[in-house]
Chain A
Amino acid sequence: MADLAAAGEPGQGAGRPDGPQAPHRVIGTPAPAASRTMLAGEPEVAAAPRELPADPEDMDSARRAERVVAACFIIAMLAGLGFIAAYVIFQVHTVNNTLHSNLALGVTMAVTFIAMGVGATIWVRRLMPDVELTEERHPLASTPENKAAFAETFEEGAEASQFVKRPLIRRTLIAATVPVALAPIVLLRDLGPLPEKSLDHTVWKKGTRLVVYGTNRPLTPADFSSPGGSLSVIPEGFADNDDALAKAATTLIKFRPGELQAPTVMNWTVDGIVAYSKICTHLGCPAALYEQTTHHILCPCHQSTFDAARGAQVLFGPATRPLPQLPLTTNAQGFLVAQSDYHEPVGPSFWERS
Chain B
Amino acid sequence: MSTNRALEGVGTWLDDRLHGARGVRVLLRKVFPDHWTFLLGEIALYSFIILLLTGTFLTLFFEPSMSKVIYHGSYTNLDGVSMSRAYASTLNISFDVRGGLLMRQIHHWAADLFMAAIMAHMIRIFFTGAYRKPREVNWLIGIILFTLGLLEGLFGYSLPDDLLSGAGLRILEGVLQSIPIVGTYLAFFLFGGPFPGNDIVPRMYMLHILLIPGLILALVTAHLFIMVFQKHTQMPGKGRTNTNVVGQPMYPYFMAKTGAFFFFTFGILALAGAFAQINPVWLYGPYNPVAMAAGSQPDFYMGMLEGALRVFPAWQWVVFGHTFAFNVFIPALLPLGALFTGAAFWPFIEQWVTGDRLEHHVNDRPRNAPTRTAIGIAVITFYGVLWAEGANDILAEHFDISLYLTTEIARIAWIVGPVIAYIVTKRICLGLQLKDVHLLEHGVETGIIRQLPSGEFIEETRPVDEESRAVLESRPHYESLPRGAGADPEVPAPGMRGAIGKARERLYNVITESVPLPASGHANGHGNGHAIEGNGHSVEDNGHGEQAPAAVPSGSGQSGDAPDDERPDQP
- CB of B137 to closest CB in A, whole Å: 11
Interface string of B390-418 (1 = CB under 8 A from A): 00110000000001100100000000000
Q: Give bound CA distance, A74 to B94, whole Å.
A: 31
* CB within 8 Å for A9 and B25 given contacts A135-B30, A351-B322: yes
Report if B338 contacts A (CB, 8 A): no
Name the residue on B nearest A52 (C-beta): B249
Q: Considering the chains assembled together, what is the distance between the CA atoms of A302 and B407 in angstroms?
A: 10
Interface string of A235-256 (1 = CB under 8 A from B): 0000010110111010000000
- Chain A positions within 8 Å of B273 at CB level: 102, 106, 109
A110 to B266, CA, bound (A): 7
Structural contact, A110 and B268, CB atoms closer than 8 A: yes
Does B251 reach chain A (CB closer than 8 Å)? yes
Chain A residues with Cβ below 8 Å from B361 are 137
Asked if residues A131 and B249 are in contact (CB atoms below 8 Å), the reply is yes
Give the contacts of A82-134 with B (CB-CB under 8 A). Answer: 87, 90-95, 98, 101-103, 105-107, 109-114, 116-121, 123-124, 128, 131-134
Kindly state the separation between the CA atoms of A93 and B95 in the bound complex, as whole angstroms. Answer: 5
- B273 and chain A: residue at smallest CB distance: A106
- Does A320 have its Cβ within 8 Å of any Cβ on chain B? yes
Identify which of residues 516-546 in chain B touch chain A, using a CB-to-CB cut-off of 8 Å.
none
Q: Is B7 touching A7 in the complex (CB atoms < 8 A)?
A: yes
Q: Determine how close the nearest CB of chain A comes to the CB of B67; give it in whole angstroms.
A: 12
Q: Is A246's CB under 8 angstroms from B196's CB? A: yes
- Would you call A136 and B244 a contact (CB within 8 A)? yes
Q: Are B290 and A124 touching (Cβ within 8 A)?
A: no
Q: What is the bound-complex CA distance between A279 and B292, given in angstroms?
A: 11
Q: What is the CA–CA distance of A198 and B191 in the complex, to the nearest angstrom?
A: 14
Q: A192 on the interface (CB 8 Å rule)?
A: yes
Contacts of A286 in B (CB 8 A): 289-292
Q: Return the CB mask of B475-503 against A: 1 if under 8 Å, else 0.
A: 00000000000000000000000000000
Chain A interface, number of residues (Cβ within 8 angstroms)? 106
Which residues of chain B in 88-124 are interfacial with respect to chain A, using CB atoms and an 8 Å cutoff?
Answer: 94-102, 105
Contact between A4 and B274, CB atoms less than 8 A apart: no
**Known A93-B96, A284-B195: A245·B290 in contact at CB below 8 Å:** yes
Q: Which residues of A have CB within 8 Å of B82?
A: 240
Tell me the complex Cα distance, A193–B190, Å. 10
List residues of chain A with CB within 8 A of the CB of B262.
117
Smallest Cβ distance from B20 to chain A, in angstroms? 3
Contact A48 B29 (CB under 8 A): yes
Inter-chain contacts of A4 with B (CB < 8 A)? 10-11, 14
Total contacting residues, chain B, CB less than 8 A: 128
Q: Which of A248-303 contact B (CB under 8 A)?
A: 249, 278-279, 282-286, 288-289, 299-303
Contact indicator per residue, chain B 304-322, by CB within 8 Å of chain A (1) or not (0): 0010011011111010011
Bound-state CA distance A95–B282 (Å) is 11
CB of B9 closer than 8 Å to a CB of A = yes
Whether A137 touches B24, Cβ cut-off 8 Å, given contacts A116-B260, A246-B289, A285-B171, is no
B45 beta carbon closer than 8 Å to chain A: no
For A106, list chain B residues within 8 Å (CB).
102, 105, 270-271, 273-275
- Which residues does chain A contribute within 8 Å of B75, judged by CB atoms? 95
Known: A102-B274, A318-B327, A350-B323. A192 touches B188 (CB 8 A): yes
Contacting pair B102 A3 (CB below 8 A): no
- Nearest Cβ in chain B — how far from A231, in angstroms? 11
Q: How far is the CB of A351 from chain B (nearest CB, A)?
A: 5
Q: Which residues of B contact A (CB under 8 A)?
A: 4, 7-15, 18, 20-31, 68, 74-75, 82, 94-102, 105, 134, 167, 170-171, 173-175, 177-185, 187-197, 199, 230-231, 239, 242-249, 251-253, 256-257, 259-264, 266-268, 270-271, 273-275, 287-296, 306, 309-310, 312-316, 318, 321-323, 325, 327-328, 331, 359, 361, 392-393, 403-404, 407
A-B residue pairs in contact (CB < 8 Å), sample of 6: A6-B11, A87-B98, A109-B273, A114-B268, A116-B260, A243-B195
Chain A residues in contact with chain B, CB under 8 A? 1-12, 14, 18, 44-45, 48, 51-52, 87, 90-95, 98, 101-103, 105-107, 109-114, 116-121, 123-124, 128, 131-137, 139-140, 188, 191-195, 198-199, 213, 232, 234, 240, 242-243, 245-247, 249, 278-279, 282-286, 288-289, 299-305, 314, 316-321, 347-354
